[in-house]
Amino acid sequence: MTLAKENAPAMTRAQSNTSAADSTRIARLKTIAADHPGNDVERQRDRVLAALQEGPLSTVEARRWLDVMHPAMRVLELRAIGLRIDTVWSLEPTECGRLHRMGRYHLRVGVAG
């Protein structure tokens, strides 16, 4: 075994098995990104809100599939206009397979700020 292989991060079963639900979620996030093109702050907020209206959104998902490089700021801006968004911290793998502590955002539907 080569040194590079020995030092490569181990792929977990969860990482190697992309479920149908994951594929559906990714397709939906790509659609949201296509429906709200542009990189200005308002369009990024629109993408984050549209995704949150369909379910929880992680930092990695927002960056990778919605092209929002600073999801925490977009969430902060949405909170500032009165939306109730909870942050749940979790360990999630990055593209290289290493775990990082990241936020997963949850929109509280029907709850006023």
Give the count of domains, the chain.
Answer: 1
Q: How far apart are CA 43 and CA 91, in angstroms?
A: 28
| pLDDT tens readout for residues 59-91 | 999 999 999 999 999 999 999 999 999 999 999
In a domain, 62, yes or no: yes
Where in the sequence is the domain holding 61, given as residue range(s)? 20-107
Q: Which amino acid is at 43?
A: R
Sign of CA dihedral 33, 55, 53, 99: negative
| pLDDT tens readout for residues 94-105 | 888 899 999 999
Tokens 């075994």: give the residue: 1
| pLDDT tens readout for residues 21-67 | 889 999 999 999 999 999 999 999 999 999 999 999 999 999 999 99
In a domain, 3, yes or no: no
pTM score, two decimals? 0.78
In a domain, 94, yes or no: yes
Contact 60, 102 (CB under 8 A): yes
